[in-house]
């Protein structure tokens, strides 16, 4: 589903590779300066810097390893191997060990060409110890951006879990049967669901996560009409669990009503209540960020779902327009209008292309021709590409 322009401004996009580019640029500049000032020591200096940098995380990882092996190996790792699981979890991975080993080899290869005083072995011992101390005290802990990147890449945010739960526990179950429910509703309610855009489930996602249980309380132009036929299925030991959707009538500025199934995304209630409970450690800025991540994650999930395709519409509600009493109805109507335009373009484009091709064929070939290929054989003798050159009378 395509989001509107104002929604695209609010949704946080995945972080790119600009930090890697900046780090590579700084490394290239520093290497160029060293090549200009000390070309004979460049390899030794790079190897020494690599060894100092990698020994810090390795020493810190050994401290973490001692805690994990002595107190958590049986409860957190359940008999998993030391090399395969516990050591990588402590930061003692193969990449770090390989970098340290390569640095040692380079230092050993270049030790004969340099004086002993140029090695600075005191720093090799002192810097990793200071790094480990500062790391354990939290001074060199990961920044909020780094934690956010890790959580988003590994799908560890609260929003990711809520989005997947909302999809597997609700949308994947009800959206495949939504069209049949709407057809049954139209048969018993004449004149309902006239526009094709309204035949999708509209899911409202307010950024402030403050959900009203009745849409009439949010906007007087929205009235409850009726409920779609219930869907029942056995789920998690509950026999005949009922899933239902509410149909609302949304009135536009001309007094015309539009019927559509509308509901809020219920997982947002969890985010809102977490922000109200101090034991959750979840403030308002974190809640807003998680709502936006929930929207983006749910949108990505539904776009890849064949069962839910073309059966939903996600609407992100900006809380900066709360002064408008009819903001909700205007937003829903704007999305309905956009859906109708998309449906019209998608359905009319193939027909227009077919008519255009037919007109071009009629213009080139006035007489109708068969579409089946035929083999045409000529009985005439082949002629040369150029005729014989006649003698000229020019003297």
Give me the mean pLDDT over the 232-252 stretch: 90
pLDDT at 294: 94
DSSP state of 197: G
> What are the helix (H) ranges across the chain?
5-10, 18-37, 42-71, 87-89, 94-109, 121-136, 144-153, 158-166, 172-174, 178-188, 267-276, 284-303, 327-364
pLDDT at site 262: 93
* Average of per-residue pLDDT across 259-273: 92
Condensed to tens digits (0 to 9), the pLDDT of residues 321-378 reads 667 788 889 889 888 888 777 665 444 444 444 444 444 444 444 444 444 455 555 5
Q: Please tell me the predicted confidence (pLDDT) of residue 186.
A: 86
Residue 172 confidence (pLDDT) above 90: yes
> Average per-residue pLDDT in the chain?
78
Of residues 106 and 384, more confidently modeled:
106
Residues 6+ apart with CB under 8 A from 34: 41, 42, 45, 46
pLDDT at 347: 44
Sheet with 201-206, edge to edge strand ranges: 222-227, 246-251, 257-264, 201-206, 312-317
d(CA 117, CA 103): 18
Q: pLDDT of 32-86, one tens digit each?
A: 887 888 777 777 778 878 888 888 888 888 888 888 888 888 777 776 777 777 8
158: tokens are 């609260």
Residue 161: exposure state from Cβ atoms within 10 A (0-12, 13-18, ≥19): middle
For the segment 198-204, the average pLDDT, to the nearest whole number, is: 88
If pLDDT is split at 50, 70 and 90, which confidence band does 386 have? low
When pLDDT is averaged across residues 304-324 and rounded to a whole number, the result is 84
Residue that is written with structure tokens 């995380």 in the block = 57
What are the pLDDT digits (tens) for 110-166? 765 555 555 566 677 777 787 788 777 877 777 777 777 777 777 678 889 999 999
Q: Which residue has better confidence, 22 or 75?
A: 22
Residue spans per domain, the chain: 38-141, 158-341
pLDDT of residue 102: 84
Q: How far is CA 180 from the centre of its chain?
A: 30
Residues near 134 by beta carbon (within 8 Å), at least 6 away in sequence: 140
Instruction: With a cut of 90, say whether residue 171 has pLDDT above it.
Output: yes
- Provide mean pLDDT across the span 98-102: 84
For 312, phi and psi rounded to 5 degrees? -145, 165
Q: Are 298 and 219 in contact (CB under 8 A)?
A: no
The encoded tokens of residue 153 equal: 């890449």
The whole-number pLDDT of residue 361 equals 44
Q: CATH top-level class for 158-341?
A: alpha beta
Q: Which of 260, 232, 258 is nearest to 246 (CA)?
A: 260
Residue 2 pLDDT > 50, yes or no? no
Determine the distance from the C-alpha atom of residue 12 to the mean position of all C-alpha atoms in its chain, rounded to a whole number: 9
CB 65 within 8 A of CB 90: yes
3-state secondary structure (DSSP) of residue 4: coil
pLDDT over 80 at 17, yes or no? yes
pLDDT of residue 190: 79
């Amino acid at each position: 589903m395509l989001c509107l322009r104002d929604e695209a401004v609010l949704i946080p996009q995945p972080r790119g590779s600009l930090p890697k580019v900046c780090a590579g640029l700084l490394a290239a500049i520093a290497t160029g300066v060293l090549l200009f000032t000390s070309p004979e020591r460049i390899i030794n200096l790079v190897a020494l810097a690599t060894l100092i940098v990698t020994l810090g995380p390795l020493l810190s990882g050994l401290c973490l390893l001692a805690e994990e092996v002595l107190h958590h190996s049986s409860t957190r790792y359940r008999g998993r191997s030391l090399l395969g699981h516990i050591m990588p979890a402590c930061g003692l991975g193969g990449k770090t060990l390989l970098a340290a080993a390569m640095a040692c080899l380079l230092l050993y290869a270049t030790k004969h060409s340099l004086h002993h005083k140029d090695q600075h072995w005191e720093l090799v011992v002192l810097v990793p110890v200071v790094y480990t101390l500062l790391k354990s005290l939290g001074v060199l802990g990961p920044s909020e951006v780094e934690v956010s990147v890790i959580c988003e890449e590994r799908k560890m945010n609260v929003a990711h879990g809520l989005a997947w739960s909302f999809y597997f526990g609700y949308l994947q179950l009800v959206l495949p049967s939504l069209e049949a429910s709407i057809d049954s509703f139209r048969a018993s309610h004449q004149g309902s669901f006239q526009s094709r855009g309204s035949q999708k489930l509209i899911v409202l996602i307010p950024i402030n996560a403050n959900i009203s249980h009745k849409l009439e309380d949010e906007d007087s132009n929205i009235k409850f009409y009726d409920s779609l036929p219930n869907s029942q299925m056995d789920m998690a030991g509950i026999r005949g669990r009922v899933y239902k959707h509410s149909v609302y009538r949304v009135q536009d500025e001309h007094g015309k009503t539009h019927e559509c199934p509308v509901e809020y995304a219920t997982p947002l209630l969890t985010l809102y209540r977490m922000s109200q409970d101090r034991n959750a450690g979840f403030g308002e800025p974190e809640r807003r960020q998680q709502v936006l991540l929930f929207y983006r994650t749910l949108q990505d999930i539904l776009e890849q779902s064949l069962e839910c395709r073309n059966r939903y519409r996600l609407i992100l509600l900006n809380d900066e327009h709360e002064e408008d009493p009819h903001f909700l109805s205007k937003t829903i109507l704007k999305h309905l209008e956009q859906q109708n335009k998309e449906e019209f373009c998608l359905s009319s484009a193939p027909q227009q292309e077919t008519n255009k091709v037919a007109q071009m064929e009629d213009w080139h070939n006035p007489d109708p021709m068969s579409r089946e290929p035929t083999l045409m054989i000529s009985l005439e003798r082949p002629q040369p590409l150029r005729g014989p050159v006649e003698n000229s009378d020019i003297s």
